[in-house]
Structure 1
């Protein structure tokens, strides 16, 4: 039967899985596959596996339980292989890599931050600080009938938005990276100008959280900073 793989841990990890269910309906029983100094937490894989809420929650619960007792290399939802022997083979083939990553992630958790600025506030800021944008806007408002003016203003505003978003994203990351062991930037989508994950040592969690709150207070109510964590370190495996 196909095997669903949740995560990799050191063989010495407590691996307390009592009371935690695996994916599937009914939930699959969890077990461990060992090879040398490494173990993988697995279960039988359901035939109709889909990213349903219950299964996503089950996958996350396994990571959180393991994370509470030690370092974990969490796999993304949906990793399936042929059988336990295949899992054991991968543990052996990639033992050096897995061991290095476990060492790099020891004592750390992931914090994921997204940030956005209210569109109206950003447009007001651009009109206030850009002489050219303000001039174009005033000409349009005066009733001058030229199709080139809205186009020119739109292009200018788009450029200003990109520059300001890039500058603010860099400034936020620059402050918070002082308290992080590593960081991973992802493409921001929608209204967000920042999408970043930080690997934070447990000893630095309080100053990291305090700095993030300080940034939120400094930026003000026109900005929306959304921080999630502590999380299993998916972005750093």
Structure 2
């Protein structure tokens, strides 16, 4: 029956981009990825059942794998995960309505990729450093040490609040230091919300291909200087997820 299937849109690319023959989309079984072209643009899509639930970890991985792989060879505008339209006409209408805006955005991302730096404080190291430098926190720690939780509840709450505030302040400082450390090698940066209460840094960077080596070296130096306190990961190259909000489609 017509209407049982729709098209999942992954991203917008230049019209000359061709999906690889082994590209797999979302769904079970994975859909074949194709390109629908209009003018200077193309949309990467695959067929999905309209009743099929999307959002499994495997679906998100397929979405990111396709976009990140595309970003390594061509500019791409990621479309918000889960965007499904009824058919090719709807895709072509979308490309037509926003053609010039999408084309300009693709020009901005030519030869540029995203990297994300994510670091987390080592809990014991951070608390040890805090207690060594904060008399009030150290005093509270002494008051709760070895005492039943019920008897030291108030002190534990106060100590927890002090630790949380210290983490937040240090996170802001570390994010600023990271941005300063790599600032000469990036086009743009976007601080990301912490994903864990002990997050130390979480920033996305848009990096020109010619600057990737210097950028990676600067991140490695930043991480090395903090290796005992912060466990740092460099994730990328990625599609420019954090830099396309003005161009995303699904509202």
C-alpha root-mean-square deviation of aligned residues, in Å?
2.6
CA drift of 1:91 comes to 0.7
**190-199 vs 154-163, greater mean Cα deviation:** 154-163
Match for residue 26 of structure 1? 29
TM-score (norm 2): 0.82
CA drift of 1:36 comes to 1.4
How far apart in 2 are the matches of 1:54 and 1:137?
Answer: 44
Match of 1:77 among 76, 81, 104: 81
How far apart in 1 are the matches of 2:92 and 2:195?
Answer: 38
CA drift of 1:148 comes to 6.3
How many residues get paired? 235
Q: For 1:84-123, what aligned pairs fall within 5 Å after superposition?
A: 84-123=88-127
TM-score (norm 1): 0.86
Alignment of 1:124 with 2:131, yes or no, is no
How far apart in 1 are the matches of 2:22 and 2:153?
Answer: 66
Match for residue 46 of structure 1? 49
Give the gaps of 5 or more residues in structure 2: 245-251
CA drift of 1:189 comes to 2.4
8 Å Cα contact 2:7-2:86 kept in structure 1: yes
How far apart in 2 are the matches of 1:139 and 1:65?
Answer: 54
Give the gaps of 5 or more residues in structure 1: none
CA drift of 1:170 comes to 1.7
8 Å Cα contact 2:10-2:81 kept in structure 1: yes
Alignment of 1:179 with 2:182, yes or no, is no
Q: For 1:143-154, what aligned pairs fall within 5 Å after superposition?
A: 152-154=158-160
> Which secondary structure does the structure 1 equivalent of 2:30 belong to?
coil
How far apart in 2 are the matches of 1:220 and 1:164?
Answer: 15
How far apart in 2 are the matches of 1:18 and 1:179?
Answer: 35
8 Å Cα contact 1:114-1:195 kept in structure 2: yes
